[in-house]
Amino acid sequence: MATLNTYLNFNGNTEEAFNFYKSVFGGEFSVVQRFKDSPGCDGMEIADQEKLMHIALPIGGNVLMGTDITAPMPPSTLGTAISISVDAQSEAEAKQLFDGLSAGGTITMALEKTFWNALFGMATDKFGVQWMVNYDYK
C-alpha cells in the first residue's frame, strides 16, 4: 500500500518552522538539504542558496517534509483547504502536542472531550499551518 506523507512549502522560514515542529514532536531530522548543496544552483541568489531545498522529520510511521519556495516559483500561500491531523496515543500526549502546536498560534477549537468519544482540538500554528489533534478513547 502507498504511504502518504505531508510536504509543506514556506517562504524562507522552513528551518524555523521545522525546528518548531521538532520541539513539539521530538525526533531528529532524517534529511536536511540546502540549495547550495545541489547541482545547478549557481544562478540562484546567494541568500536563496542558504535556504532549505528539502527537510524531513519522521513522526510515527510518516514523514513531515518541507522546502523553502524560491524564485521563479510563486510564493507559498496558506489557506483553509487542508489541515494536518495528528492521532495521539494518550490524553497526555494529545495535550502536549496541542499545547505545543498552538503556542504562538490561534486556537480554533479548544482541546476537549467530544460527543464522538474523543479528545479533540484544532489550531493554526504560528506559521499558518492548520492542525487537528485527536485522541480516541478506548
How many structural domains are present in the chain?
2
pTM above 0.85, yes or no: yes
CATH number of the domain where residue 131 is located:
3.10.180.10
pLDDT tens sequence across 78-103: 888 899 999 999 999 999 999 999 99
One domain, residues 13 and 63: yes
Other Cβ atoms within 10 Å of 101 Cβ, number: 27
Q: To which H or E segment does residue 18 belong?
A: helix 14-25
Name, in order, each residue with C-beta under 8 angstroms of 12's C-beta and a sequence gap of 6 or more.
51, 68, 69
Binned at pLDDT 50, 70 and 90, residue 50 comes out as very high
One domain, residues 64 and 117: no
Please write down the HEC assignment for all residues of 42-67. Answer: CCCCHHHHCCEEEEEEEECCEEEEEE
CATH number of the domain where residue 37 is located:
3.30.720.100
One domain, residues 64 and 91: no
Integer Cα distance of 47 and 64 in angstroms: 24
pLDDT over 90 (residue 60): yes
Does the residue 79 lie in any domain?
A: no
Does the residue 75 lie in any domain?
A: no
